[in-house]
Amino acid sequence: MLILGIESSCDETAASVVENCREIKSSVIYTQIEEHKRYGGVVPEIASRRHCENILGVVKNALDGAGVTLKDLDGIAVTYAPGLIGALLVGVSFAKGLAMSAEKPLIPVHHIAGHIATNYLTYPQLEPPYLCLVASGGHSHIIEVLDYTKFHVVGRTHDDAAGECFDKCARAMGFPYPGGAYIDRASSLGDSSAFALPHPNVSGSEFDFSFSGLKTSVINLIHNSQQKGKQLNYNDLSASIQKTISEILTEKTIKAAEFLGYKKIALAGGVSANSGVRSALSTACTEKGFEFYMPHKNLCGDNGAMIACQGSYNLINGITADESLNAIATLSMNDI
């Protein structure tokens, strides 16, 4: 089975051909990060325009790279939710036209389900059920992966996502956008016990997150020191932020796995590239006797292979769309 996956939900235009669910034949990612950097974040209209300009070339390169043509495909998968609406619409419209002209099934894929699928691409033997922590720029979720296409969200953030918290703290320190990876690098040079940062108290579900308090306390620390003309050690501050975020994510995920009786824990999303989060969750899983799975570093960020992989499972399970498929900016995993 050969599936083309198309991703355009934020600032990466990506396409990939995946064979038999888990074998990546090609993966092409055009990232717009350099252009958005000068604005300190993603500018939605610019994102849509760049997707529009690049999507055809990216898809063509993915097909050429895999040595296949449209007629060899068994389906065309596309991210339809959630994300920037104008960005999603480019991918959805393009995939619809392609599916119609090639007379192939159109397969809708939820972006977070795509992130979860990066673990199938990394571990050929991984099968549901398991519990997955998905942490990215827009999401922080603890999700029961009941089956390849069945999900149940048991924890979510009440405010900022973990990646957003990394990025906003990084911005306050003057690091370029997106700052998560810069904090990761600076952390390796810093002392993670230098700053005592708050762990949030979250009302509601005990598996829910909140990162806005942490972000505010970091921004206040920086502003107060600037007002006093003092320069904080940003390596130490980065290491302290990374340790705190890693502890919060790890503690809630382990708690949820124990409560729900899961033996396998997976990590996914852009923040799964973070060395502190990877090692904190991995260490906790070893201590508690859980099996632990995390994606290859080059699959953590948005890519087309994760959409093609999840699209393969969607097709196997009869999840396809007709010509009325639309993009949706906000859509819970519990509603797919």
Q: Give which of ligand KG4, Zn ion, none residue 5 binds (C-beta under 5 to 8 Å, depending on kind).
A: none
Q: Which is nearer to ligand KG4, 236 or 302 (CB)?
A: 302
Q: Is 8 in the site for Zn ion (CB under 5 A)?
A: no
- 3-state SS string over 166-224? HHHHHHHCCCCCCCHHHHHHHHCCCCCCCCCCCCCCCCCCCCCECCHHHHHHHHHHHHH
Residue nearest to ligand KG4 (CB): 270
Q: Is 190 in the site for ligand KG4 (CB under 6 A)?
A: no
Q: Is 114 in the site for ligand KG4 (CB under 6 A)?
A: no
**268-297 footprint of ligand KG4 as x/- string (CB under 6 A):** -xxx-xx-----------------------
- Exposure letters 86-97 (e unless 16+ CB within 10 A, then b): bbbbbbbbbbbe
Alpha helices in the chain (DSSP H): 33-37, 44-66, 85-102, 111-122, 162-172, 180-187, 212-227, 234-260, 275-288, 304-316
- The single residue among 5, 91, 180, 311 that binds ligand KG4, judged by CB under 6 A, is 180
- Give 137's DSSP letter: S
Q: Is 91 in the site for ligand KG4 (CB under 6 A)?
A: no
Interacting stretch for ligand KG4, rule CB under 6 A, among 58-66, 163-171, 206-214, 216-224? 163-171
Q: Is 310 in the site for Zn ion (CB under 5 A)?
A: no
Q: How far is the CB of 115 from Zn ion (least distance, A)?
A: 6
Q: Is 267 in the site for ligand KG4 (CB under 6 A)?
A: no
Residue 225: CB atoms within 10 Å = 13
Rule CB under 5 A: which of 80-139 touch Zn ion? 136
Q: How far is the CB of 268 from ligand KG4 (least distance, A)?
A: 8
Burial of residue 289, with CB atoms counted within 10 A of its CB: 0-12 exposed, 13-18 middle, 19 or more buried: exposed
